Amino acid sequence: MKKNFIFVHYKDTNFFLYMQVFIDFIHYFCYIYNMEKICSKCKHSKILSEFYIDKSAKCGFVSFCKECGVNSRKQNKEKIKERNIKYAKNNPQTIKLSQKKSRVKNKEKLKKYGKEYREKLENKIKKSKANKKRYYENPKKESERKKKYRKDNPEKIKELDKIKNKKFSNSNPHIIAWRSVLKSSLNRLGKPKEGHTIELLGYSALDLKNHMISLFTDGMSWDNHGEWHIDHIKRVSEFDKDTAIDIVNALSNLRPLWGTSRIVSGVFYEGNLNRG
């Protein structure tokens, strides 16, 4: 049964279909004529393809541009995470229901993933058991074999080391930061590194981690280290060249500072890169 668009009652289920077609037509029209829209965040006028489509919005597009959306999600990563956790805590039934729905909907997919995961895990365990057995049966031969393999496959080893190092630095940014605080200050003072990091600094990577956490401002976390830096309150260049390195790098002289100036939750923070 066909109905004329103009006379459709809004309770008619087809109404939404017509509306969708209408909105799609407007989008098409806007794209063709390169129409622009002002972003509610950056206030720049941009062509409509720079905005995501939002059919529930009055004009059919999200009010802010794609770039601002990406930036805001990046900046509020922690907040979004917190909000989601809070929502899950306050709405356990809703979450349970939606999880159940998604499980039913993706039953076959989940089954396949589960099987693949179990097979992968079993293979991994088998392989590691075999490796261990081979090692314990003949440790000397095994270490020789490993040495030879490293020597014969330098490119492969380089690549593997790179992946391993990246994995390590991603999960232990505080250890990397702890080493680099010492290294860069020694470089700036023109001194060689003589001794272990923990002896030279007098505190552990974990001490540094906790000290920074105690001074974090809104939005900082060890996940976004790199956006903020460890800053020397009294600069390294202001110290006498013979000052002990543990005084230059004393925890009381270190603080976290954003790299570039910014406003977080309405508070202005000067970035240490902007200080020159």
Q: Contact positions toward Zn ion, by CB under 5 A?
A: 39, 41-42, 65, 68
Q: Least distance in Å: CB of 218 to Zn ion?
A: 22
Interatomic CA distance for residues 81 and 143, integer angstroms: 45
Q: Cβ 45 to Zn ion, closest distance in Å?
A: 10
Nearer to Zn ion, 30 or 65 (CB): 65
Query: How many Cα neighbours within 13 Å face the side chain of 97?
Result: 4
42 vs 125, beta carbon nearer Zn ion: 42
When the beta carbons of 41 and 191 are compared against Zn ion, the nearer one is 41
Nearer of residues 35 and 206 to Zn ion, judged by Cβ: 35
Q: Is 175 helix (H, G, I), strand (E, B) or coil?
A: helix
Please check whether residue 186 is in contact with residue 232, taking contact to mean a CB–CB distance below 8 angstroms.
no
Task: Give the containing element (helix H, strand E) for 206.
Answer: helix 205-215
Residue 42 φ/ψ, nearest 5 degrees: -90, -5
CB closer to Zn ion, 68 vs 186 = 68
Residue in this structure with the two tokens 């000397």, named with its chain if needed: 140
Strand 254-258 to strand 228-232: parallel, antiparallel, or no bridges (unpaired)? antiparallel
Cβ proximity to Zn ion: between 44 and 112 the closer is 44
Q: Say how far residue 141 (Cα) sits from the centre of its chain.
A: 43
Instruction: Output the smallest distance, CB 88 to Zn ion, in A.
Output: 30
Nearest distance from C-beta of residue 208 to Zn ion, angstroms: 37
Which of 35, 41, 36 has the alpha carbon at shortest distance from 70?
41
Give the residue from 172, 275, 167 showing the smallest Cα distance to 231. Answer: 275
The CB-of-41 to Zn ion minimum distance in angstroms stands at 5
The CB-of-44 to Zn ion minimum distance in angstroms stands at: 6
